[in-house]
Structure 1
């Protein structure tokens, strides 16, 4: 069964390589871009859990 647009979310990522879930169809906030995955909120959270292994912001990792 296809998901309705109300159930569809996208995984998004910012320049610090931090991930979030965003409702599909809404404009992304400044500084965020689509991470290439869409689905239910739960599916997006699962994708983020598999993808985002180090939650340390990129700028902190680079400074170390």
Structure 2
């Protein structure tokens, strides 16, 4: 079974925590405590571009 956190297809969110760290997160998974959604849902590629532009 493929890892859903690395699937090219599907919808993703960009999460950020209080330390300014980003995480690419599948849209279907619950957002973990301490993290907030800052972008998405969108494609994996669009979320990666968002993260690169933010830095």
Structure 1: tracts of 5 or more residues without a match: 1-5, 54-64
Q: TM-score, normalised by structure 2?
A: 0.73
Structure 2: tracts of 5 or more residues without a match: 1-8
Structure ranking higher in helix proportion: 1
Q: Which has the larger radius of gyration?
A: 1
Structure ranking higher in strand proportion: 2
Which residue of the other structure, out of 15, 25, 29, is the alignment partner of 1:26? 29
What is the total number of aligned residue pairs between the two structures? 47
Provide the secondary structure at the position in 1 that maps to 2:52.
helix
1:12 aligns with 2:15: yes
Runs of 4+ in 1 over 6 A off after TM superposition: none
1:35 aligns with 2:38: yes
